[in-house]
Amino acid sequence: MTVETEDVYFHAGDGLKLHALRAKAESARLPAICLPGISRTAEDFRALVAAFASGPSRGRSAWALDSRGRGLSERDRNPSNYSVPVELGDLIAFLRAMEIERAIFVGTSRGGILTMALAPLMPNMIAGAVLNDIGPALEMRGLLRIKGYVGKIARPRSWPEAIASLQAVMAAHFPALSERDWEAYARQTWDDRFEPRSDPSISHAFDGIDASTPLPALWPQFDALAAAAPVLVLRGEHSDLLSRETVAEMKRRARVESIEIAGQGHAPMLEDPKIIRAILDFAAGCDPRE
């Protein structure tokens, strides 16, 4: 079944024009909302959004949000606005603009942080949450590695060069990816003119991060999320951001399901049919009983 997607626009509280990718379904099942990583875009979720909308029992409507400065959303002239509090406000503006009262959230990395941050403020909004390679505690070595390349990869001049640039910083963490996978990832990272799909100024979000200044843990936010809804944690086998110990503690504190994805690191790409099926099955369990 072919699912058509459409571009939807709305405005943040400060007037910035923001974008979301939407796939409609006929059913009245709870919608799904996909939130990408810090420098990633809605394109990372195109396959998952389509799968949500074409799933069994007429599927469910799904959105993938471009945070400010990413994808088709406008870039912010003030780099300090590429922050969790501002982006959380944008997420709330999106929910209100689309008149969404309750949904299932899929958050990759930064998107998972936004999902956890939303839970204490709007617990009734969240019917279920998939946290893709993110948890309340982050490993500093992973943060420093990501800080080293976000917004700093030179503009490539060809697709082979683009692929090589990504492999230089990520290949050790993604041994399972084929050349076709790397090309798809590169095309999600740059457009056809080799312009980055995300504002390089997003790198300023890492300015305060160094080895001597660990980020505060988000256990209160996670606890609020786990109290509000079922949680599924996806972890890349080679992740250097989300440790197995953190996943174990999440499962100790609450009823949390977890899946470790072989051959991938931070953050797993949600295009494998088996992983998509696991997410769809989890989402089905979050729907209200008839």
> pLDDT digit of tens for each residue in the chain (290 aa)?
567 899 999 999 999 999 999 999 988 899 999 999 999 999 999 999 999 999 766 689 999 999 999 999 999 999 999 999 999 999 999 999 999 999 999 999 999 999 999 999 999 999 999 999 999 999 999 999 999 999 999 999 999 999 999 999 999 999 999 999 999 999 999 999 999 999 999 999 998 888 887 788 999 999 999 999 999 999 999 999 999 999 999 999 999 999 999 999 999 999 999 999 999 999 999 998 75
Can you give the pLDDT at residue 44?
Answer: 95
What is the predicted pLDDT for the residue at 216?
A: 87
Tokens of 171: 């290949």
Length of the chain: 290
DSSP code at position 260: E
Locate the domains of the chain by residue range.
Answer: 5-151+196-286
Give me 275's structure tokens.
Answer: 């992983």
Q: Where are the beta strands (DSSP E) in 95-177?
A: 103-108, 126-132
Tokens of 220: 């209160």
What CA–CA distance (Å, rounded) separates 29 from 287? 7
Which neighbouring-strand residues pair with 22?
6, 63
For residue 82, the model assigns a pLDDT of 97
Distance between CA atoms of residues 178 and 171, nearest Å: 10
**Are residues 118 and 85 in contact, defined by beta-carbon separation less than 8 angstroms?**
no
Output the pLDDT for position 290: 55
What residues contact 258, with CB distance under 8 A and at least 6 apart? Answer: 232, 233, 234, 235, 247, 250, 251
Helix axes 46-53, 273-286, angle to 10 degrees: 50
Q: What is the pLDDT of residue 204?
A: 93
Say if residue 168 is exposed, middle or buried (CB neighbours under 10 Å; 0-12, 13-18, 19+): exposed
Q: CATH homologous superfamily of domain 5-151+196-286? A: Alpha/Beta hydrolase fold, catalytic domain (3.40.50.1820)
